[in-house]
Structure 1
Amino acid sequence: MNRNGKPDKFLLDNQDYNFIKNDKHLGKHVILLGLAGSYSYGTNNENSDIDIRGIALNQKSDLIGMTNFEQYVDQKTDTTIYSFRKIITLLLNCNPNTIELLGLNPEHYLYLNQIGEELLANRSLFLSKRAVHSFGGYADAQLRRLQNALARDSYPQQEKELHIFHSVRNAMHEFQSRYSSFENGSLNLYIDVSGNPQLETEIFVDADLRHYPLRDYKNIWAEMNNIVRDYDKIGKRNRKKDDNHLNKHAMHLIRLFLMAIDILEKGEIHTYREQERHLLLSIRNGEFQKEDGTFRTEFYEMLTGYEKALERAARETALPDEPDREAVEAFVMRVNRKVVTDEI
């Protein structure tokens, strides 16, 4: 990075990144490299690490042979480069960690070839109402991290149960695409008065599953159980260390809502948050945290406002229910055909 916190055009010339040139899955197969994390959001500070994300084409042997390349991870440089096949699947699901790679500021792309530019030109093909649940799921995870680390003994049980309910319900939307013949009506979740003397309210479930694969059933319950277990974990806090993490989680929670609202309202991906940069940095710097480590009422009021804005955007969006799979498939076939015929 240069003095202004912008990417140095010679960053990739550092020998720490030699693996990009030398690895057999990367090199000439790379079509896009860009900054990720705080530099891409505009929320970096003097302690921020440089994260890089990228995309590399699958080779001919991956497409018509017996090899299978999914991604390359270099932990030393915080670099992850996805295969073309894998990134397409993630983008179709509007995965927040990868869809943001299509909306970077131009100066945050470290490398782009013609196919990479074509992918960016077709970014709108991947946008759909799936963003509601994909971004909502990630936001729920950030909110859980916040709540789990705070002093939950004084946290109202009914309110905690409500947050667990929303988290599990959000996960259920993902089950439809990952498990056999799963529909929302198969498991009906609701909150009611608890018969447990230790709880005021409790989440209940009505199940209606017949001739259902046991393994899928086991995985569904395991995921729900993990969400409930995460809420119930109690551990001692390292205040100084944890407060930094808490404020970072709080910042990303708001950022996720901002990106999702842009996608639904405008059909656009804006990873760098120019207009909200000051707000996000103020959250990261602890300006919304009280002395006891909890968050001020203003933060939760802001969060509620963005939740309502996302709900409104979801109702009014012009985006389709599903991404344009036919157009995406045509694009993927066009690219892979060039690979197979040695045009690339």
Structure 2
Amino acid sequence: MNINEIKQLTKGKQYNFLRDNEHLGKNIVLLGVTGSHGTGVNTKNSDVDIRGCATNSKREILLGKDFEKIEDKPTDTIVYSFPKLVRLLTKCSPGVIELLGLKKEYYLYISEVGQRILDNKKMFLTQKAIKSFGGAVTNQLKLIRSGKAKNIGKECSLLIRMYLIGLDIIEKGEIITYREKERDLLLDIRNGKYIDKNGNIMSEFFKIVQKYEDRFIHGKEITTLPKEPDWEAINDFISSVNEDIVCWQIPERYKEL
């Protein structure tokens, strides 16, 4: 399924919740295709993963309420509230940070507020990425070694993908979700190039893992990322967005995909 087919898919009944849910609809500010499609390693059987952000309503902001997230498991869609998204971004959460590094065509919707989030994405990049991505790859490696993974090729590919995205953040301060340069490598891994006829992972794969782990360790030593987020700048950003919502100064609101 290509991106145009995905865009058409999201106009169907199964995605009506994006338009009808009281917290979504006109409150959506950012919506993108993540997962295998967003990173460029999708196959014909790949699921469609959609992630996004919606602002709280004027009433919710004034009352200090937050819906946090809307999740639709049948379509593998999660839309975070603006405050929840910001909290996760300040932790450099791997599953969320990739939403800010998609190729342009993989964004289904970007409002004025959504563009402001994308324009300020580097504000969220700190050395917290070392812990978040380091923890993610450690857990992923444990899953792979446990023998409990349902699709070992897919899980191995995901491991390397997390290394690559994390390394870009730590080494260069950039979020690059679509892995064009490494696409062939990731697809080879996913399609079983490093799995023997008995279903065991070959030693060559773990040599690849070690190469990226060594880079990750070195990256921790040379990174120029700040240790902590600039909380004053982040709070100013949150305040600015919320003020615009309360005062009805946001020019563009979501209507339909």
1:298 to 188, 196, 204: 204
* Among candidates 274, 285, 298, match of residue 180 of structure 2: 274
Range with greater deviation from structure 2 (90-99 or 307-316) = 307-316
Rounded to whole Å, the distance in 1 between the matches of 2:3 and 2:111 is: 21
**Aligned equivalents of 1:103, 1:11: Cα separation in 2:** 22
Deviation digits for residues 319-339 of structure 1 (CA, Å, limit 9, x no counterpart): 111122221111110001112
Match 2:116 to one of 108, 115, 118:
118
Shift of 1:60: 2.1
1:7 equivalent in structure 2: 4
Q: In 1, Cα distance between the equivalents of 2:90 and 2:203?
A: 37
The residue type paired with residue 275 of structure 1 is K
Give, in whole Å, the separation in 2 of the partners of 1:134 and 1:43. Answer: 22
The one of 117, 130, 154 aligned to 1:248: 154
What whole-Å deviation, never above 9, does each CA across 1:44-66 have from its counterpart, x for those lacking one?
00111111111000112322216
Letter in structure 1 aligned against 2:201: F
CA distance in structure 2 between the partners assigned to 1:35 and 1:252 by the alignment? 16
Counterparts of residues 162-173 of structure 1 (less than 5 Å): none
C-alpha distance in 1, partners of 2:29/2:64?
Answer: 23
Amino acid at match of 1:143: L
Equivalents in 2 of 1:66, 1:128: separation in Å? 28
Amino acid at match of 1:52: I
* Cα distance change on mapping 1:121 and 1:286 into 2, 3 Å: same
Residue 140 of structure 2 corresponds to 142
Match of 1:182 in 2: none
CA distance in 1, matches of 2:122, 2:64: 32
RMSD: 1.4
Inter-partner Cα distance in structure 2 for 1:308 and 1:66? 45
User: Which structure has the bigger radius of gyration?
Assistant: 1
Q: Corresponding residue for 1:85?
A: 83
Distance in 1 between residues matched to 2:207 and 2:47, nearest whole Å: 31
Quote the Cα distance in structure 2 between the aligned partners of 1:290 and 1:324: 48
Q: Which 10-residue stretch deviates more, 317-326 or 28-37?
A: 317-326
Contact 1:35 / 1:50 at 8 angstroms: preserved in 2?
yes
Counterpart in the other structure of 1:76 = 74
Partner SS state of residue 21, structure 1: helix
Structure 2: give runs of 5+ residues left out of the alignment.
251-257
Matching residue of 1:341: 247
* Alignment match of 2:167 (pick from 254, 261, 273): 261
Does the CA contact (< 8 Å) of 1:7 and 1:107 recur in 2? no
What is the CA distance between 1:116 and its match in structure 2?
0.3
1:315 aligns with 2:221: yes
| Larger RCO, structures 1/2 (Cα 8 Å, 6+ apart) | 2
For the pair 1:285 / 2:205, whether they are aligned, the reply is: no
CA distance in 2, matches of 1:84, 1:255: 26
Which one of 11, 25, 28 corresponds to residue 27 of structure 1?
25
Instruction: Kindly indicate whether the alpha-carbon contact (under 8 Å) linking 2:66 and 2:83 is maintained by their aligned counterparts in 1.
Output: no
CA shift digits 1:251-293 (9 cap, x unpaired) = 1111111111111111110001000000001111111012232
Q: How many Å apart are 1:14 and its aligned residue?
A: 1.5
Q: Distance in 1 between matches of 2:120 and 2:141?
A: 32
How far apart are residue 302 of structure 1 and its match? 1.0
Paired with 2:51 and 2:232, the residues of 1 have a C-alpha distance of: 26
Kept in 2: contact 1:7–1:108 (CA 8 A): no
Which amino acid is 1:7 matched to? Answer: N
Q: Secondary structure at the match of 2:4?
A: coil
2:52 aligned counterpart, secondary structure: strand
- 1:155-234 correspondence runs (5 A): none
Amino acid at match of 1:316: I
For 2:31, the aligned partner's letter is L
Structure 1 vs Structure 2: percent identity of aligned residues? 43
For residue 39 of structure 1, the aligned residue among 29, 37, 40 is: 37
Number of positions where the alignment pairs a residue of Structure 1 with one of Structure 2:
249
Equivalent pair of 2:66/2:81 in contact (CA under 8 Å): no
